[in-house]
Structures are given as C-alpha cells and as structure tokens.
Amino acid sequence: MQWVSLGDYIEQCDERNSKGKYGEEDVKGIATSKQLIETKANLEGVSLSSYKIVNPNEFTFVPDTSRRGDKMSLAFNNFGKACIVSSISCVFRIKDPLVLLPDYLYLWFCRPEFDRYARFNSWGSAREAFSYEDMERVQIPLPDIDEQRKIVSVWKGLRDLKVQNEVIAEPLFELCQSYLKQLKEEYEPTEIGPYIEEVNEKNAQDNIHDVMGLNVNKEFREPQSRVDKTKLQNYKILRNNQFAYVPTTDTWRCLAVALSKFEKDIVVSPIYVTFKIRDEGKLVPEYLYVWLKQKETDRWARYNSWGSARENLNFEDLCRFEIPIPSPEKQRAIVNIYNCAKEAKDIANKTDQLIKDICPALMRQVIGEAS
C-alpha cells in the first residue's frame, strides 16, 4: 500500500446552472457533518444561473473554514440525482473510480483528523480558506480496489441499517400521533390528579448509589454535575415504573420528565419531583409517559409554571394536567406502537454513533498498514 497525492486522482468541476435546469428545490447546503442538507439561505430574488451543479458521485466543499467550529463543510452526492450549490463552493470528482472509490475517499473526509488537517492548512487574513489546490495536496493511503470495497461495504451496511430503521420509525410515530388525536375526539379529557400520587422516599440508609439525572429529551442520563456518591442520604429513591421531573421549567423551556424502566432502584436529585401511578390497572404508566413527551405538554407546563426568579411546575399543578383515558387495553395498544417506533429510532441513533466510531477506526487500520 502506498500514500498518494489526491491531486493525481481527482479533477475540478465547474458546471453551472446557466440554462436554469435546476430550481430552488434543488439547492443544497453543505454541512460540517459532511452531508448535503436543505439550504438555509433566503433565495428570494436570487439568480441560480451561477450555482454549481453537483452530479452523483461528485464532491463539494466550502473553502472558508474559519467560521465553522474547526470543521470543514464537505459533502458527497450519493443521492443518485444532481443538485446545485452556491457558486463559492468547490466541486470535484474522481478521475477513475476503478482506482479510487468515491465512497472510500468520503470515509477519509469524515474523519475528525481530516477536519484538523484542513484547518491547519487553511490560509488567509480576514478569512482562512482551504482551496482546491490545498485539496490536491492531501495525502491519502491507497489500498487496492478490493480492499477499498471491503471497507466501504462495512460502512454501507451500517448506513443501510440506520436508514431502514428510520424508515420504520417515522410512520409508526405518525400512527401513534394519529391515535392520540383520535382519543382527544372520542374521550373527555380527565385530570390525572386522582390517578397519581407523589413519592418522597429518601435514601436515608445511603444504600443506593446509582444516581441519574434528566435531559430535555425526557430521558435519564448520567448526572452532569459533580455528585459525591458517599453522601446520597438526601437523594430521592426512584423505583421501577415511577416518574421523576424537574419542577423548574424555564431553564430548558420544557418539562424534563422520565419514567424509570430500570430493573434496579436508582436515586435522583432531591430537587426533583417524584411520583407514581396509584392503580396501573386504570392508568398505564407508559401511556401517561407518551402524553408527557408531547410538545403540547411542554407548552402547557410552561404556561402553568409560576415564580419570580424561577418558574416552577409543582406537583399540585401537574395534577391538573388533562388527558383522555381509554380502557387499559387501548392504552397498551398505543404504548406498543410507540415502543416499536422508539426501538427503531434508538437502533438508528445507535447505528449512527457506531458509524461515527467505526469509520475512523477502519481508516486508522488502513493508515497502520500503509505506515
């Protein structure tokens, strides 16, 4: 395996939209996540004739690197159809895809090390730029085409898994929302107060040391603040199927709430409000959680929060929250749909993180073999 200069394998493209073949719906932005995205630019009155065409299997990047958080805006058109980008962008393609696979080169660009390289090799005064000539000087390890295909197949397998689960999740979430809307029409809204009760069980024996915090996604997470795990007597115990929420709603502009599905007991901050369902045969905990996760609930919580320095939603206020309460069978049916959608979405998110981790690892292996 050898290290080669990228300039020997790529060529610049400068095909313009001069005939007006592509319109506003074809304009794409170039993200630092190395993807083509919907443009955020205001295109009203803007002529698109000078915009550059990016054909399938071509690359494009923004030379300006000084205002993008030490990352380079670069993308690979693997959509199967052409798009257009701003005239300030650079567009290039690989001369011979049987020698250098476009997907292999794309994986090289996705590495954090390439962002650092591009920033270090950017030049300018008011703005620093990484030009096409700089791109030509990039050195890459070039294994044989079969080895490139093996590396790319791993990435494509993970990417396809991510896309497949995203495709599964979206209609299921939409179906769940449709059922919730239908329930609002079929059932009178009922205050949840008679169905829930506050829990204030302290960790007085200091025998539980698994501490969890909450986030804006309404999930438990590792606490971000420093916690002395030898002094947790004042923390609240949270058991399976019990809820916890942050009463202060003006910090995150939402109701940060989560349902414990941990197999073991945990403890949460003493400032959290903890509660449970009185009779799970009448109100299924997961069903209430689905309602608490709605955006409308965040707006309701903010409107019903009170205070001066900080606005709080206390437990008495939460008890006045209204939801339709059908039979437990209907509640569980909606929960099952939601859980299927969430599982698919979680797989997609985990796969996306795995892609971010494994692609640099694959490239490090190639670099090691080329050294």
Q: What is the 3-state secondary structure (H, E, C) of the chain?
A: CEEEEHHHCEEEECCECCCCCCCHHHEEEECCCCCEEECCCCCCCCCCCCCEEECCCCEEECCECCCCCCCCCEEECCCCCCEEECCCCEEEEECCCCCCCHHHHHHHHCCHHHHHHHHHCCECCCCCECCHHHHHCCEEEECCHHHHHHHHHHHHHHHHHHHHHHHHHHHHHHHHHHHHHHHHHHCCCEECHHHEEEECCECCCCCCCCECEECCCCCEECCCCCCCCCCCCCCEEECCCEEEECCECCCCCCCCEEECCCCCCEEECCCCEEEEECCCCCCCHHHHHHHHCCHHHHHHHHHCCECCCCCECCHHHHCCCEECCCCHHHHHHHHHHHHHHHHHHHHHHHHHHHHHHHHHHHHHHHHHHHC
- Say what the pLDDT of residue 348 is: 95
Interaxial angle between packed helices 285-292 and 145-186, expressed in degrees from 0 to 180 and rounded to the nearest 10 = 100
User: Environment class of residue 221 by beta-carbon count within 10 Å: exposed (0-12), middle (13-18) or buried (19+)?
Assistant: exposed
Contact 45, 29 (CB under 8 A): no
With CA atoms as reference, report the closest residue to 363 among 107, 114, 75. 107
Q: Could you list the pLDDT tens digit for every one of the 371 residues in the chain?
A: 689 999 999 999 999 999 999 999 999 999 999 999 999 888 988 999 999 999 999 999 999 987 777 889 999 999 889 999 999 999 999 999 999 999 999 999 999 999 999 999 998 877 889 999 999 999 999 999 999 999 999 999 999 999 999 999 999 999 999 999 999 999 999 999 999 999 999 999 889 999 999 999 999 999 877 888 878 999 999 999 999 999 999 989 999 999 999 999 999 999 999 999 999 999 999 999 999 999 999 999 999 999 988 999 999 999 999 999 999 999 999 999 999 999 999 999 999 988 888 877 888 888 887 76
Question: In the chain, what's the furthest Cα-to-Cα distance?
Answer: 77
d(CA 26, CA 234) in angstroms, rounded, equals 58
- Domains of the chain, with CATH numbers? 2-142 (3.90.220.20), 188-325 (3.90.220.20)
- Say what the pLDDT of residue 125 is: 79
- Say what the pLDDT of residue 327 is: 97
